[in-house]
Amino acid sequence: MREEAETRAAVPEAGKMPRHVAIIMDGNGRWAAERGMPRTFGHKAGVEAVRRCVRAAMTRGIRYLTLFGFSSENWSRPEAEISDLFALLRRFIRKDLAELHQAGVRIHVIGRRTGLPDDIVRLLQEAETLTRDNADLELVIAFNYGGRSEITDAARRIAQAVADGRMRPEDIDEACLESQLDTHGFPDPDLLIRTSGEARISNFMLWQCAYSEFVFLPVYWPDFDDAALDAALGEFARRQRRFGGVAAQA
């Protein structure tokens, strides 16, 4: 009972709850290695953590949840591991899509789709199409995503518009560039969480996280649960966000 009371006390009030939480899900491989198991074992456990995280986000009133599923740099991993990750994605969508849809979750996928297997692209499109009218939780999956490549692609589209005469160089501003990002239409993350104890953002949402609050948790992703999320939310509630200004005076 005492532990439950402490957990409830750690959850911030509604007014201090972040609207958008982004998570770098890190530590699957190390979690598995500590148990003498292959990395795939950790990735499977990580899928269960995704399910817990989505449920927890919905019960806490978080409106946007972005999960970093597969980095554009992850292609350098062994081919067998990449194949296993794709297999887990296929299984997750086929098994969980109906349940997510019923729960009112709208799915968005950001990142480059070129180079992905055709069936993966079809599954991602199916998930987005089926859930497009849902509004209880906006679940953003960053897959084959990299912050630098996202900004590069946006700059390339703007440069093409200038070359075609559809835009003048003086028309380019922050709003213009932001309109070309994968996340156009979403609010920037209020809170960025990274698990595993690593303290870096690994090319994730470089533009969008300019004023996000960062919380680095010393827990591997497969162990991420309600208590871990509440700890991060509690830390967020204690932060004073100034967005480049000064603190409000008493």
> Hey, which residues are catalytic here?
26, 74
- Cβ atoms of 67 and 50 within 8 Å: the answer is yes
Other CB atoms within a 10 A radius of the CB of residue 2 amount to 6
CA dihedral 47, 213, 238, 58 (to 10 degrees): -40
Helix (H) or strand (E) holding 54: helix 39-59
DSSP state for residue 250 in the 8-state scheme = -
What tokens appear for 22 in the block? 């982004």
Long-range contacts, stretch 84-91, CB < 8 angstroms, 24+ apart: 84/39, 84/40, 84/43, 85/43, 86/117, 86/120, 88/43, 88/44, 88/47, 89/120, 89/123, 89/143, 90/119, 90/120, 90/123, 91/47
Asked whether 98 and 126 are in contact (CB, 8 A), the reply is no
d(CA 56, CA 59): 5
* Alpha carbons 16 and 237: distance in angstroms, whole number: 5
Whose structure tokens read 């999320």? 229
Q: Around Cβ 156, how many Cβ atoms within 10 Å?
A: 11
